């Protein structure tokens, strides 16, 4: 007779204590061999331990009459064991298209959301009910293989954890699919077969049907070896995760500390920050980019999966949802004074000529001006008499045009070419008069506006609080 690891798994991972303390259990029930085996085993265990058991079945609306057959089978099996069954019908293909998700991903989300609904139904709003799924050792093996060939690290090699989040339990994780089916046959436990499992049209099925049979010719029981390896991988991953969490303070980490961390810990810090911000797991390319840029000068902003971004600031590394930049109110010289300041810089107006010329360099050299946006301070001497009406500082506007060196350029293109971070572009001061842009620090003045020895000179100095660098994304 086949002996399952089910009772040992409950004790080894403390699942028995979790279920007893919760008092309510929701079983994700499809009607297949694994979940039916678990229904039979759990029904007996819960009855003996005074724990309330309910089953939850989702009809995904994918397999037509066959899906209706599975639902009817689940109802019959639950009735025979006096287990209440909750059923949800969903048009997963339509929902997946509407949400821009793959069918499997969408179906999984619907299932777990429904399990939570059932948990709340049977145990109240502050539900302490646990959810039990029928993932087995072969499912775990397939998951690890898929993660391996995707280039996963230790987290992916950990596979399917026996307990996730303290309330999702996998009591069959130590038993192979073959052992579960053998147990069902020996105990005359019926179950339904999903015909789509016999078609190698997805990664998991292709591994199950084409790869695993070849592996078993060399290693007859690969599930056992991979379970041991995954336990070690999870242990190492949990230790590194704990080190990463210890580095976080108020939802971020100082830039200096982040740059000094070992890459294995720093990458986990980034994953934690991304998850807390509601993003997805950053890919290797994103992680490597952040790790490299954090060690260089300048402000950085890197888009991450899931609609969040990593901001590498002058003092901290944070992850969050991108915010629309706030425009500063216009500033007029001289009516508003001779000093303008925002988060990016300080602009000072002084009548007269800058000592030593623009930026301490040759005032006739436009090329020098173009490079100085990457330095701490930059000055230019303008001809105040040639300005039309008031001299104003404002934020950029859509469609802004800027003429210098005999050419008219779009400000958006200039900022993009300089790779100025998008969230800082609206903080760059733009000096204008009634005829348009007079000067943007780091670029030459508008044609004809540079002081040439005649008229009234006005020196404008921009002191950058943040050093922008040419490779800033």
> How many CB atoms within 10 Å of residue 171?
29
- The contacts of residue 202 (CB under 8 Å, 6+ apart) are 104
Q: What is the pLDDT of residue 20?
A: 96
- The CATH number that applies at residue 303 is 3.30.465
Whether residue 341 sits in one domain with residue 316 = no
* pLDDT tens per residue across span 325-339: 666 788 999 899 999
In 3D space, the residue among 271, 272, 15 whose CA is nearest the CA of residue 166 turns out to be 15
Whether residue 191 sits in one domain with residue 50 = yes
Q: What is the pLDDT of residue 377?
A: 81
What is the DSSP secondary-structure string of 295-362? TSSS-EEEEETTTEEEEE-SSEEEEE---PPPPPPPEEETTT-SEEE-SSEEEEEEES--TTSGGGS-
Which residues make beta-bridge pairs with 249? Answer: 252
Taking CB atoms within 8 Å and a gap of at least 24, the contacts of 77-84 are: 77/31, 77/36, 77/39, 77/190, 78/29, 78/39, 81/39, 81/40, 81/43, 82/43, 83/27, 83/39, 83/43, 83/53, 83/54, 83/55, 84/54, 84/55, 84/122
* CA-angle at 386, arms to 380 and 390, nearest 5°: 85
Residue 356: both structure tokens together: 């030593």
Asked if 277 and 308 count as a contact pair (C-beta separation under 8 A), the reply is yes
Whether residue 157 sits in one domain with residue 263 = no
Average pLDDT of span 284-294: 89
In this structure, is residue 208 part of a structural domain? yes
Q: What is the pLDDT of residue 369?
A: 45
* pLDDT tens per residue across span 206-255: 888 888 999 999 999 999 999 999 999 999 999 999 999 999 987 789 99
Whether residue 453 sits in one domain with residue 336 = yes
* pLDDT tens per residue across span 5-37: 999 999 999 999 999 999 999 999 999 999 999
Asked if 180 and 37 count as a contact pair (C-beta separation under 8 A), the reply is yes
Give the H/E segment covering residue 98.
helix 92-99
| Structural domains of the chain, count | 3
Asked if 344 and 366 count as a contact pair (C-beta separation under 8 A), the reply is no
Please say if the pLDDT value at position 370 is more than 60: no
* Beta strands at 52-59 and 24-28: parallel, antiparallel or unpaired: parallel
Whether residue 32 sits in one domain with residue 162 = yes
- pTM here is 0.70
Whether residue 344 sits in one domain with residue 281 = no
Whether residue 212 sits in one domain with residue 358 = no
In this structure, is residue 409 part of a structural domain? yes
Cis peptide bond N-terminal to 334, omega within 30: yes
* pLDDT tens per residue across span 190-200: 999 877 676 66
Q: What is the pLDDT of residue 449?
A: 93
Instruction: Give percent of the chain with pLDDT exceeding 90.
Output: 58
What is the DSSP secondary-structure string of 142-155? HHHHHHHHTT--HH
Whether residue 254 sits in one domain with residue 210 = no
Please say if the pLDDT value at position 163 is more than 90: yes
Give the residue from 286, 320, 354 where a domain finishes: 320
* pLDDT tens per residue across span 139-154: 999 999 999 988 888 9
Please give the Cα distance from 380 to 411 (Å, whole number). 19
Whether residue 298 sits in one domain with residue 218 = no
Please say if the pLDDT value at position 161 is more than 90: yes
Q: Name the band, by pLDDT with cuts 50, 70 and 90, for residue 457.
A: very high
In this structure, is residue 325 part of a structural domain? no
Q: How confident is the prediction for the chain on average, in pLDDT?
A: 87
Give the residue from 320, 339, 358 where a domain finishes: 320
For 280, phi then psi, to 5°, come to -95, 175
421 or 133, greater pLDDT: 133
Please say if the pLDDT value at position 365 is more than 80: no
Whether residue 294 sits in one domain with residue 416 = no
For 433, the 3-state DSSP assignment is strand
In this structure, is residue 110 part of a structural domain? yes
Please say if the pLDDT value at position 363 is more than 50: no
- The CATH number that applies at residue 186 is 3.40.50.620
Whether residue 335 sits in one domain with residue 316 = no
In this structure, is residue 384 part of a structural domain? yes
> Measuring CA to CA, how many Å separate 87 from each of 60, 149, 259?
11, 36, 51
Domain that holds residue 372: 331-464
Give the residue from 269, 285, 320 where a domain finishes: 320
377 or 364, greater pLDDT: 377
Residue 444 has what DSSP assignment? P
Instruction: Give percent of the chain with pLDDT exceeding 70.
Output: 91
Residue 114: both structure tokens together: 């429904």
* pLDDT tens per residue across span 98-128: 888 888 888 889 999 999 999 999 988 666 8
* CA-angle at 271, arms to 266 and 273, nearest 5°: 95
In this structure, is residue 260 part of a structural domain? yes
In this structure, is residue 233 part of a structural domain? no
In this structure, is residue 121 part of a structural domain? yes
For the CA atoms of 309, 313, 316, 318, the dihedral, rounded to the nearest 10 degrees, stands at -10
Whether residue 417 sits in one domain with residue 280 = no
């Amino acid at each position: 007779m086949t002996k399952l690891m089910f009772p040992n798994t409950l004790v080894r991972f403390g699942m028995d204590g979790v279920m007893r303390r919760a008092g309510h259990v929701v079983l994700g029930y499809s009607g297949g061999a694994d979940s039916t085996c678990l229904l039979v085993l759990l029904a007996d265990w819960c009855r003996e331990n005074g724990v309330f058991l309910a089953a939850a079945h989702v009809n995904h609306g994918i397999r037509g009459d066959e899906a209706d057959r599975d639902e009817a089978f689940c109802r019959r099996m639950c009735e025979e064991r006096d287990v209440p069954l909750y059923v949800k019908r969903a048009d997963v293909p339509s929902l997946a298209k509407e949400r821009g998700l793959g069918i499997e991903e969408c179906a999984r989300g619907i299932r777990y959301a429904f399990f939570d609904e059932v948990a709340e139904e049977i145990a109240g709003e502050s539900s302490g009910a646990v959810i039990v799924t029928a993932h087995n050792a072969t499912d775990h093996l397939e998951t690890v293989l898929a993660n391996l060939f995707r280039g996963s690290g230790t987290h992916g090699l950990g596979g399917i954890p026996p307990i996730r989040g303290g309330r999702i339990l996998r009591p069959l994780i130590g038993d192979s699919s073959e052992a579960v089916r053998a147990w069902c046959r020996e105990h005359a436990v019926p179950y339904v077969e999903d015909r789509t499992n016999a078609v190698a049209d997805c990664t998991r099925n292709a591994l199950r049907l084409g790869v695993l049979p070849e592996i078993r010719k060399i290693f007859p029981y690969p599930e056992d070896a991979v379970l041991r390896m995954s336990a070690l991988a999870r242990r190492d991953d949990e230790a590194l995760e704990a080190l990463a969490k210890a580095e976080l303070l108020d939802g971020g980490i100082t830039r200096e500390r982040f740059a000094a961390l070992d890459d294995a810990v720093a990458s986990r810090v980034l994953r934690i920050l991304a998850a807390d911000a509601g993003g997805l797991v950053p890919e290797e390319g994103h992680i490597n980019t952040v790790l490299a840029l954090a060690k260089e000068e300048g402000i950085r902003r890197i888009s991450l999966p899931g609609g969040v971004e990593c901001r590498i600031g002058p003092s901290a590394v944070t992850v969050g949802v991108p915010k629309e930049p706030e425009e500063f109110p216009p500033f007029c010289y001289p009516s508003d004074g001779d000093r303008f300041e925002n988060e990016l810089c300080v602009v000072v107006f002084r009548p007269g000529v800058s000592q030593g010329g623009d930026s301490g360099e040759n005032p006739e050299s436009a090329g020098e001006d173009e490079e100085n946006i990457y330095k701490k301070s930059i000055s230019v001497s303008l001809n105040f008499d040639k300005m039309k009406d008031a001299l104003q500082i404002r934020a950029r506007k859509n469609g802004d045009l800027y003429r210098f060196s005999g050419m008219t350029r779009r400000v958006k293109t200039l900022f993009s070419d300089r790779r100025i971070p998008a969230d800082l572009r609206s903080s760059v001061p733009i000096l204008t008069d009634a005829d348009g842009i007079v000067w943007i620090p780091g670029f030459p003045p508008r044609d004809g506006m540079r002081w040439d020895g005649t008229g009234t000179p006005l020196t404008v100095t921009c002191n950058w609080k943040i050093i922008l660098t040419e490779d800033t994304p």
